[in-house]
Amino acid sequence: MVRGIRTARLLAIATVMTACAATAPAQSPPTAANVVSPRPSAAPATSAASDPVKRVLAGMSVEEKVGQLLMPVLPGTAADARTIRKYHLGGVILFPDNIKTVPQVVALTNGLQAAGKVPMLIGTDQENGIVSRVGALMTKFPGASVIGDTGDPALSRAVAEATGEELRALGVNLDFAPVADVNVNPRNPVIGRRAYGDDPAKVSTMVAAAVKGFADSGVAATAKHFPGHGDTTTDSHTGLPVIKHTRKQWEKLDAPPFKAAIAAGVDAIMTAHIVIPSLDPSGDPATLSKPVLTGLLRGKLGFKGVISTDALNMEGVRTKYGDGEVAVRAVLAGADLLLMPPSLDKAYGSVLAAVKSGRISQQRLDESVTRLLQLRQKLGILRKAPEASVARAQEVLRSAEHRRLAAKVVRAGR
């Protein structure tokens, strides 16, 4: 049954949130030294026989490991099993062209799961508001700016939980939300009302609450776009933004929501196709920057989860290198999930060649695949692929309870 959103529960969550705000060869299993835990606390070393993640990893060929890094868009409304098997894909992202009816989407996600050797990560961009890829079927929740205007983190958590419940009922297990950018530039053409606001403290509180809401629903959350896309007048879909924040300004304005998301246990963080010279003077976008992804996000901020690129078909990441080289450089920088490569064949072939030549080490490849498998383990889908149900989806989607919640947020945000 759909879980109730009770007034007392909302007040309790708000109290908690307020308090928180204040206060070497292929197919070999990785060693204990190169397994990266999805959480800050390190797990004790275990053998492949006792660790399900190591066991799955040990059973993969190099070709299968490379395929796990890729999450393309596949056209059509039915599962393309041939492409999934050809490239050993670990995931697929859904867009409106893939979405028609509830029974069709359930059949699609179940078909995708049936085609994968390992249970698939099926993602989408369901931020709500202006970016709602599955919006035609789901409750129309307000976007982040309206939630931010309420000043109530309990509502942020409740909306994320309800969104996750509806996605999970359709067979989607990864949402590329919430937006953790602080929209400090009113002329920002790409973030705007997708952000919770222009105050780092408020955005941090709302992002942390949303991360916890997605966790409540059993769907993975993704904070985006690191290291912060809030102060730009260039759209990274069409160009390469340069943000001239000093390191001190970045620490004060852009970093807090990502730190809050990590502290809340966020599953994934998406990169931005932006240049911040104070963080990396090379001129490479953050997506391709080892100082930003490995040095800053992993090293300084201590993030242990999945790093996803933003869409690799965007011009912001294609200005300096060819599409195959972009995929290789993203992995070398520290990315685990290569989202929407413009040429699946080039991305797969280039990364595979880089691994076989030693440019990308076996250890580096295993680190990323391990993190992706650990995410499945956390979601409960490592051993067995989930199966969506039309009946369950029809019960959850646009439920009266969720529609009341949406209306409540609208009223509170006025």
Q: Which of 401, 389, 370, 353 is closest to 30 using CA atoms?
A: 370
DSSP 183: -
Q: 310 an active-site residue? A: yes
What amino acid is encoded at 3 in this protein?
Answer: R
Burial 60-95 (b: 16+ CB within 10 A, else e): bebebbbbbbbbbbbeeeebbeeebeebbbbbbbbe
As a whole number of angstroms, the longest Cα–Cα distance in the chain is: 59
Burial 333-359 (b: 16+ CB within 10 A, else e): bbbbbbbbbbbbebbbebbbebbeeee
Q: 237 an active-site residue? A: yes
Q: Which of 157, 143, 153, 208 is closest to 180 using CA atoms?
A: 208
Q: Which of 265, 262, 211, 203 is closest to 229 using CA atoms?
A: 203
The active-site residue out of 175, 310, 336, 366 is: 310
What amino acid is encoded at 143 in this protein?
Answer: G
Pairing of strands 126-128, 131-132: antiparallel
How would DSSP label each residue in 250-311? Answer: IIIIIHHHHHHHHHTT-SEEEE-S-B-TTT-TT---GGG-HIIIIIIIIIIS---SEEE-S-
The active-site residue out of 149, 199, 216, 237 is: 237
Mind telling me the catalytic residues? 237, 310
